[in-house]
Structure 1
Amino acid sequence: MRPSQVKKFQEQQAKFASSVAKRTERIKTLWNKIQSQTSSEFCELEELVMEAHKLAGTATTLGFVDLGECGREIEVLLKPHIESQTLPAAIDDIDRLIAGIDDIAKIEPKRPDDFTFGEVTLLHEKDRTKQLVYVVAENPDDVSEMVKQLQYIDYEVILLETATQLKDALYNKAPSVLIVDLNDFQLLDDITRVWRKNSGIPLVVLSKTECWESRLHAAKAGAYTFFHKPVEYDDILGLLDSLWETNNAQYRVLIVEDDRTLAEHYSIVLQGAGMKTSIVDNPHQLLDELGEFHPDLVLMDLYMPECSGVEAASVIRQHASNTNVPIVYLSGETDLKLQMKALQVGADDFLTKPINDLHLTQAVSIRARRFRALSAMMDRDSLTGLLNHSNLKMALERELSRARRHKSPVSFVMIDIDYFKSINDKYGHPVGDKVIKGVARLLNYRFRKTDTSARYGGEEFALILPDTPADIALRLIDEIRITFAKTPFSNGPETFTATLSAGIATFPEFDSTESIIEAADSSLYLAKERGRNRVITHVELGERHDSQEKNTA
């Protein structure tokens, strides 16, 4: 664990320890009521099983292993009585467990250092503004054009010539990807002595030969992928886009768990792996939080006081917008039949408590990634990977709704490639597609995870920038415009550049989906009217209208 995680874990242990006496006293009280046979109802028995279940899951997760096992044993011994609807008479094993529960609770928990699960980290550190790429080539001239392409897109590229230089560079800072340009395989052999396969740094091999032996050599060296030279730079950029998306993905996980301490622990673990989390400890808030948070996955306890996880999952699935969101139960339930029954009602998987942190992060990230991929097929433009037109409007409606509640600004941007028809006519549609993907790449790479990029249609794009007033949006989009104008595109040996025009409109000046789109579109039209390759905001649009009215008067 990192020092910050250790501190938080210790705080959670202390918080749980302070609640243990209350939990164990409740278990003893319930057992005494059941033994006195003062009620023919089974509510006390059901509550006791629930308390034991919660104790087992939370205690074990937070390192109170003996106390967790005690809770699990009580739960296992009492469950048959729940199923048979019979009140238990004196049970020696339960009497023994409950009589000794206070002593068990005094056993020191495991320290954070005693947990053997590993770290889950992302290749991109939060404070790094550019994706770092190392390129190793014996002949730098062979890769100069590729390096320029990467730098135009705003990658940080360090060009190296030998394995020794790479060793020194790796010692100072780890890159997001390592690209090796080969004339022969001696360089690759030298590099594999200083670069470790398990380092988490993908190795990309560029080779002038593509025979089976060459590809096998690269595979044995641990290469992530292999390109035969000459390489289409768009293919390299596409690969980096894919790596960026995979490694920089911030999955959103909604944790539904009535035990706040346990929920906070899961939250810290998942946040430590680069995910964003939100906690719901009252199922009544579940639908509101789903609409606000838009999770990639719902991690839900199976047993909660007011409703079961199965019932909550059923309510979630009643809404068409939540049909495909993965729901994963996280519970101490070990009965396979009950697990299968729970999965029949709209859930996707079942994880059993206690679960170590590495397993939890891997299980969640795998399922969230799969959901993202499925959503991308349905909701995103196939060429660019950006949100498509219809889903853009829904995203804009949600963002405007949020902005009204929080009284925060939202900027909406329309972007158009200048003279795109001429590019298609001169170079052909495949090259035109490269230019479209070039814009998408900039929008994907340059903006925050909270921003939304979309292909509006043809050569038009749109951006939703939450918490961004018009003046800030103008500066951001103008930087994109300037960068794109310097980006070369290739058509065989020939290279060319293209430019962008953009229009910006902002909430609350425009407070509906229709009005803000119309204002941004009008601002874009004005930018084209004034000569293209520029950005216009609704402020200038208003000034133009005022001027026209004065002239008319």
Structure 2
Amino acid sequence: MKPSQIKKFQEQQRRFSDGVGKRIQKLSQLWDAINKAPDGQLIELEDMILEAHKLAGTATTLGFIDLGERGRDIEILLRPFLENKQLPKNDPIIEEIVSSLASVATIEPKRPEDMTYGEVTLLHEEGRSKQLVYVAADNLDDTKDMVEQLEFIDYEVLSFDNANDLKDALSNESPSVMIVDINEFDLLDEISKFWRKESGIPLVVLCASECWESRLHAARAGAFAFFQKPVEHDDILGVFDSLWESNSAQYRVLIVEDERMIAEHYSVVLQGAGMKTAILDDTEHLLDELGEFHPDLVLMDLYMPNYSGVEAASVIRQHNAHTNLPIVYLSGETDLKMQMQALQVGADDFLTKPINDLHLTQAVSIRAKRFRQLSALMDRDSLTGLLNHSNLKVALERELSRAKRHNSPVSFVMIDIDHFKSINDKYGHPVGDKVIKGVARLLNYRFRKTDTAARYGGEEFALILPDTPADIALRLIDEFRITFAKTPFSNGPETFFATLSAGIATFPEFQSIESIIEAADSSLYLAKEKGRNRVVTHVELDLDDDESQKNSA
């Protein structure tokens, strides 16, 4: 765990410890009530099963293992009585367990550092202005062009020609990705002695041979990707795109759990892995929360007061908008028959409490990633992965509505690749596609997660910049333009460069979707009229109109 997570975990343990006496008291009271209840009155039995279930899940998750096991034992012992509609009056085994709860609660919980099984490494580390890439090679001259390409796109690259120097660097700082360029396997074998796949650092292997044995060797070393040399730089960048999407995407997880403390723990764990979370302890407002939060996955307890997870999942599936939304149950239920019944209503997975942090984050991220990929097939441009034209307008309408509510600026940008037809005519459409993907890649890398990039059509792109006035947008887009102009593209042995033009319009000067798009498009047209490879805002557009009126007067 990270220091901040450890601190939060310790606070959760303290809060649980402070309140555990009331939990035990409630279980004891329910047990007394069951022993005094008339035959056929099952309400106290149902309540006690739910309280034991909550104790088992929360206590075990927070490191109170022995207490959690006692809670689970009570739940398992009581369920057959409920199924048979009988009361376990004066059952000696249950009586003994309930009586032992107070003493078991005094056992020291496990330390936070003993409760985790690994850390999730994000491709984009917070606080780092550039992605860090390590390149190790038999011959660094072979990697010179690739390193220059990465640096043009603003990656920070450190190169190593031996395993010992790489080992020292890894002990000081972890990169976002590691590339190993080899002709023989000696260097990769040396690196494999100290680097492990579990480190979370993706490994890309470039090799002179593409035979089965070479690929197998790389796979056994834990390689994320393998390429035969010479390799197109665009293929390497495509791997980076994939890593960016899977690791830096901020998946949104809705946690539906009536036990607030355990929900907060899951929230801390998932947030530590770069996800955004929301907690809901009342399923009655579930549909409203789905509409507001737009989760990529719902993580839901199976047993809750008033409503079960199965019932909640059934309601979710009644709505076409949520047909493909992943639902993952997280429960202490270990009966396989019960798990299968729960999954039949449309849930996607069943995770059993307690679950370690790494398993939880991996299970959630895998499902959320799949959901994003399915959504992308419908919402995104197939070549670039950016939003398509129609979904751009939906996003722009949403941002303008938010800006009106909060009285904040929004800049809308239209971007066009200069002389793109000439690029296609000279180098062919496959190379033209590389240039289009180059713009998309840079848009994804250079701008915030809260910004929205789209392929407007052909060689045109659009960008929504929330909370960004025109002057700041101008600086950001001009920096983007300059960086793109320095980015080399290859056509076999030949290298060429491309430029782009952009136009900016800003809310509140333009209030509607139609007016802000039209103003940005007019600004882009003016940028092209002025010679291309430049950025124009709606302010210049107004000045240009004033100048035209003066000249015609």
The aligned amino acid for 2:99 is A
3-state secondary structure, aligned to 1:378: helix
**Alpha-carbon distance in structure 2 between the residues aligned to 1:274 and 1:469:** 28
| Cross-structure match for 1:516 | 516
CA drift of 1:15 comes to 0.8
State the partner residue of 2:388. 388
- Using a 3 Å threshold, how does the CA distance of structure 1 residues 378 and 428 change in structure 2: closer, same or farther? same
Residue type of the alignment partner of 2:341: K
SS of 2:415's equivalent?
strand
Question: CA 1:464/1:315 → structure 2, altered by over 3 Å: closer, same or farther?
Answer: farther
Relative to structure 1, is the Cα distance of residues 405 and 107 closer, same or farther in structure 2, using a 3 angstrom cutoff? farther
1:16-27 pair list within 5 angstroms = 16-27=16-27
Please give the residue correspondences for 1:314-353 in structure 2 after superposition, counting only pairs within 5 Å.
Answer: 314-353=314-353
1:361 aligned partner: 361
- Residue 261 of structure 1 is matched in structure 2 by 261
Q: Distance in 1 between matches of 2:164 and 2:100?
A: 63
**Contact 1:481–1:534 (CA under 8 A) maintained in structure 2:** yes
Q: Which residue of 2 aligns with 1:456?
A: 456
1:434 Cα deviation from its structure 2 partner: 0.8
- 2:448 matched to 1:443? no
Counting only pairs closer than 5 Å after superposition, residues 207-222 of structure 1 correspond to structure 2 as 207-212=207-212, 214-215=214-215, 218-219=218-219, 221-222=221-222
**Separation of aligned partners in 1, 2:299 and 2:109:** 26
| 1:9 CA drift (Å) | 1.1
Structure 1 stretch displaced more, 306-315 or 536-545: 536-545
Residue in 2 aligned with 1:95? 95
User: Structure 1 residues 334, 522: closer, same or farther in 2, change over 3 A?
Assistant: same
Report if aligned partners of 1:163, 1:194 keep a CA contact under 8 Å in 2. no
Deviation for aligned residue 1:339: 1.9
Secondary structure of 2:179's counterpart equals strand
Change (3 A) 1:103 1:470: same
What residue number does 1:149 align with?
A: 149
Q: Following the alignment from structure 1 to structure 2, what is the Cα–Cα distance between the partners of residues 340 and 219?
A: 35
- Structure 1 contact 123–200 (Cα < 8 Å) conserved: no
Cα distance in 2 for residues equivalent to 1:32 and 1:391: 59
Instruction: Please give the alpha-carbon distance, in whole angstroms, between the structure 1 residues aligned to 2:16 and 2:28.
Output: 18
Q: Deviations over 1:280-329 (max 9, x none)?
A: 22223433332333222110112222422222222322333222111101
Shift of 1:32: 2.9
* Cα deviation, residue 266, structure 1: 0.7
- Could you tell me whether the CA contact under 8 Å between 1:452 and 1:463 is conserved in 2? yes
Q: Which residue of 2 aligns with 1:374?
A: 374
Give the partner amino acid of 1:158: L
Q: TM-score, normalised by structure 2?
A: 0.91
Alignment RMSD, CA only?
2.8
Structure 1 segment 45-444 matched on structure 2, within 5 A: 45-115=45-115, 117-137=117-137, 139-188=139-188, 191-192=191-192, 195=195, 199-212=199-212, 214-215=214-215, 218-219=218-219, 221-444=221-444
**What is the Cα deviation at residue 79 of structure 1?**
2.0
1:8 aligned to 2:8? yes
402-411 or 241-250, larger mean C-alpha shift: 402-411
Partner amino acid, structure 2, of 1:429: H
Pair 528,102 (structure 1): closer, same or farther in 2 beyond 3 Å? same
How many pairs are equivalent?
Answer: 553
Amino acid at match of 1:468: T
Q: Structure 2 CA distance, aligned partners of 1:305 and 1:552?
A: 76
Q: Which stretch shows the higher mean deviation, 342-351 or 111-120?
A: 111-120
In 2: Cα distance, 1:283 partner to 1:249 partner: 27
State the alpha-carbon separation in 2 of the partners of residues 198 and 229 from structure 1. 27
Instruction: Determine if contact 1:443/1:453 at 8 Å carries over to the other structure.
Output: yes
Q: Distance in 2 between matches of 1:186 and 1:113?
A: 36
> Which sits farther off after the overlay, 426-435 or 372-381?
372-381
Task: Find the aligned partners of 1:197 and 1:37 in 2 and give their Cα distance.
Answer: 58
Return closer, same or farther for 1:551/1:278 CA change in 2, 3 Å cut-off.
farther
Kindly tell me: are residues 180 and 503 of structure 1, through their superposed partners in 2, closer, same or farther at Cα, counting changes over 3 Å? same
* Structure 1 residues without counterparts, runs of 5 or longer: none
Cα distance between partner residues in 2 of 1:205 and 1:117? 27
SS of equivalent to 2:50? helix
Q: Offset of 1:81 from its aligned partner? A: 3.4
Is the CA contact 1:298–1:328 (under 8 Å) kept in the aligned structure 2? yes
Deviation of 1:199 after TM superposition, in Å, equals: 4.3
Deviations for 1:372-414, whole angstroms, at most 9, x for unmatched residues?
Answer: 2322333222211222222223333333344444444332222
Shift of 1:50: 1.5
CA distance in 2, matches of 1:222, 1:114: 26
Q: Name whichever of 213-222 and 158-167 sits farther off.
A: 213-222
Gap change, CA 1:254 and 1:512, over 3 Å in 2 = farther
Structure 2, unpaired ranges of 5+: none
Structure 1 range deviating more: 196-205 or 303-312: 196-205
Instruction: Tell me which moved more, 318-327 or 207-216.
Output: 207-216
How far 1:443 moved relative to its partner? Answer: 0.8
* Larger mean Cα displacement after TM superposition, 489-498 or 453-462: 489-498
Cα 1:224–1:74 shift into 2, 3 Å? closer
Letter in 1 for 2:471: D
User: Partners in 1 of 2:60 and 2:17 — Cα distance?
Assistant: 12
**Counterpart in the other structure of 1:35:** 35
SS of residue paired to 1:70? helix
- Kindly tell me: are residues 45 and 500 of structure 1, through their superposed partners in 2, closer, same or farther at Cα, counting changes over 3 Å? same
Corresponding position of 1:532: 532
Instruction: Give, as a single letter, the amino acid of the residue that structure 2 aligns with 1:265.
Output: H
**Cα pair 1:64 1:110 within 8 Å, conserved:** yes
- Partner of 2:381: helix, strand, or coil? coil
Give the counterpart letter for 1:298 in structure 2.
Answer: V
Deviations 1:60-101 (A, max 9, x none): 111222222222222223223333334443323333333333
CA distance in 2: counterparts of 1:339 and 1:215, whole angstroms: 39
Contact 2:122 2:176 in 1 (8 A): no
TM-superposed deviation, 1:215: 4.5
Q: Distance in 1 between matches of 2:503 and 2:341?
A: 53
Give, as a single letter, the amino acid of the residue that structure 2 aligns with 1:368: A
**Cα deviations by residue, 1:4-28 (Å, 9 ceiling, x for unpaired):** 2222111001111222222222222
Q: CA, structure 1 residues 171+26, in 2 after alignment: closer, same or farther (shift >3 Å)?
A: closer
Q: Are the counterparts in 2 of residues 203 and 225 from structure 1 also a CA contact under 8 Å?
A: yes
Taking the aligned partners of 2:214 and 2:356, their CA distance within structure 1 comes to: 41
1-side partners of 2:283 and 2:473: how far apart?
38
Q: Which amino acid aligns with 1:61?
A: T
TM-score, length basis structure 1: 0.91
Aligned residue for 1:144, secondary structure, equals helix
Asked if structure 1 preserves the Cα contact closer than 8 Å seen for 2:116 and 2:358, the reply is no
What residue identity is the alignment partner of 2:59? Answer: A
The 2-side partners of 1:453 and 1:126 are apart by 21
What's the CA shift string for 1:418-450, capped at 9, x where partnerless? 121121122211111111011011011112222
Output the amino acid matched with 2:159.
L
- Could you say if the C-alpha distance between residues 134 and 318 of structure 1 is closer, same or farther in structure 2, counting changes exceeding 3 Å? same
Take 2:402 and 2:85, find their aligned partners in 1: how far apart are those partners? 48
Contact residue 208 and residue 228 of structure 1 kept, 8 A: yes
